[in-house]
Amino acid sequence: MPPLKLIPFHIGFEKHKDVTGLIVHSDQGYQYTSHAYPDMLLKVGARISMSNCLYSNHPAMTTHAMVTK
C-alpha cells in the first residue's frame, strides 16, 4: 500500500497507463521529498519538477487552472 499522500498518483497512473514523459511539478513539501515520491515517478517514466521558491509555483498553478476549466 502506498503512503496516503501518493494514492492519488497511483489512481491516476492506473487510469492513464502510459505517463512516460509526464512532468510533475511540486513544492518541496515532506511528501514530495521522501524517497517514495521520486521512486514512484521514475518507475512510471514521469519526470520531477521541484521548486524551492514559493513564487515559482504560480505559473504551474495558473496553467493547471486554465487547463482544468
**Structural domain spans, the chain:** 4-67
pLDDT at residue 62 tops 70: yes
Band of pLDDT at residue 52, cut at 50, 70 and 90: low
Which distant-in-sequence residues (6+ apart) come within 8 Å of 50 by Cβ?
25, 26, 27, 28, 32, 33
The model's pTM: 0.59
**Residue pLDDT, tens place only, 2-43:** 677 788 888 888 898 888 988 887 767 666 667 888 888 888
Nearest to 40 by CA among 53, 1, 61: 1
- Which of 21-30, 39-48, 50-59 has the weakest average pLDDT? 50-59
- Rounded to whole angstroms, what are the CA distances from 19 to 47, 55, 62? 10, 27, 22
Hey, what's the cell of 27? Answer: 513544492
Neighbours of 48 (CB within 10 A): 13
